[in-house]
Chain A
Amino acid sequence: MIIEAILKINPNAKVSVRGNDINTCEIQWHEGTTPIPKADIETKMSELQADYDAKQYQRDRLTEYPNHNDCIHALLDGGDTLTELQAKRQATKLKFPKP
């Protein structure tokens, strides 16, 4: 997450990070990369975490959506099979609503 946040701020950053805690990690900047203050990195990490949390419903839906094979068969078969599949998808969406 730390290095992801750094790359969101500077996509071309050449950097190494030891540790997963922003407060205790060691950050080394390479190849002339301008250092980014830890406070700025922490702010970006919070934004990324918020974005990740906001998309939880997408990950939840993926666990219950019909799989690709079922979708292909339903599209090819049409009729009741396709109707049932669409009902399953709609039920999943209702179970995990978009915030």
Chain B
Amino acid sequence: MAITTLNNRSINRSDTASADQVWTATSATASDFQAASSGKLLQFVNQEEQTAFSTTSSSAVDSGVNVSITPTASDSKILLTTNFTARTAGNTYSSFYIYRQIDGGGYSELERLEGGWHYYIDEDTSTSFVGKKVDTTHNTTNQIDYKIYCHVQGGGSTLSLLPDGTNELGNFSAMEIGA
């Protein structure tokens, strides 16, 4: 009679699974029912912003557009999306970035936003800026704070976000997606 070895992970629970759970390895020697979260949205946080912000700085500064999320898993991905109106004076080139702070440890640049490099905005037109990034390196279940930083890249003088203040609405969203 053949002896079949299923695997080297011990079955350490005898209860039944909940809906949408799968049996999976939880360590090198153990297994358990776990949420089948891969690729699924685990949580969604949206932060609205209506405060006007203007800068003439040529180095990245905090725009005030921010969102915070506390991941449920350290290996999850955080999809960040943002949209807000922007306007410049004097046909200014502008750059936008996402800065990240983990567990209150201080902000540092995570990445430049797509479309944020030499983003050209006409001086007479408010443009809707849309950016998106996926944070795959947070490696934490502590609170993560994200902020939009920006600066004038050249060409003109002033970059304004949500220039008409309370008449406009910007959003910065964080979505935790299972690994």
Task: Tell me the complex Cα distance, A30–B56, Å.
Answer: 9
Task: Please classify how large the interface on chain A is, using the bins under 10, 10 to 19, 20 to 34, 35 or more.
Answer: 10 to 19
* Per-residue contact bits, chain A 2-19, to B (CB 8 Å; 1 contact, 0 not): 111001000001111111
Question: Which of B47-55, B92-100, B109-117, B137-145 lies at the interface?
Answer: B47-55
In whole Å, how far is B128's beta carbon from the nearest beta carbon of chain A? 19
Is the beta-carbon distance between B64 and A7 smaller than 8 angstroms?
no
| Residue among A13, A16, A17 with the highest chain B CB neighbour number at 10 A | A16
Residues of chain B with a CB closer than 8 A to A20's CB: 52, 165
Is the beta-carbon distance between B53 and A14 smaller than 8 angstroms?
no
| Residue among A15, A17, A18 with the highest chain B CB neighbour number at 10 A | A18
Task: Tell me the complex Cα distance, A15–B56, Å.
Answer: 5
**Interface SS of chain A:** mixed
Is the beta-carbon distance between B165 and A28 smaller than 8 angstroms?
no
Task: Tell me the complex Cα distance, A18–B56, Å.
Answer: 12
Interface flag for B59 (CB, 8 Å): yes
Residues of B within 8 Å of A, CB-based: how many?
17
* Per-residue contact bits, chain B 47-74, to A (CB 8 Å; 1 contact, 0 not): 0000111111111011010000000000
In whole Å, how far is B40's beta carbon from the nearest beta carbon of chain A? 37
Task: Tell me the complex Cα distance, A30–B61, Å.
Answer: 9
Residues of chain A with a CB closer than 8 A to B61's CB: 16, 28, 30
Is the beta-carbon distance between B52 and A31 smaller than 8 angstroms?
no
Is the beta-carbon distance between A18 and B52 smaller than 8 angstroms?
yes
Is the beta-carbon distance between B158 and A3 smaller than 8 angstroms?
yes
Is the beta-carbon distance between B57 and A30 smaller than 8 angstroms?
yes
Chain A's closest residue to B165 (CB) is: A20
Chain A's closest residue to B53 (CB) is: A18
In whole Å, how far is A49's beta carbon from the nearest beta carbon of chain B? 17
Contacting residues of chain A (45-84) with chain B, CB-CB under 8 angstroms: none
Task: Tell me the complex Cα distance, A17–B61, Å.
Answer: 11
Chain A's closest residue to B55 (CB) is: A16
* Closest 9 pairs between A and B when the two form their complex, measured CB to CB: A16-B55, A3-B54, A30-B57, A20-B165, A20-B52, A17-B54, A16-B61, A14-B57, A18-B53
Kindly list 10 other residue pairs between chains A and B, CB separation below 8 angstroms, not including A2-B54, A19-B165.
A3-B160, A15-B56, A16-B54, A16-B55, A16-B57, A17-B52, A17-B54, A17-B55, A19-B51, A31-B59
Q: Which residues of A contact B (CB under 8 A)?
A: 2-4, 7, 13-20, 28, 30-31
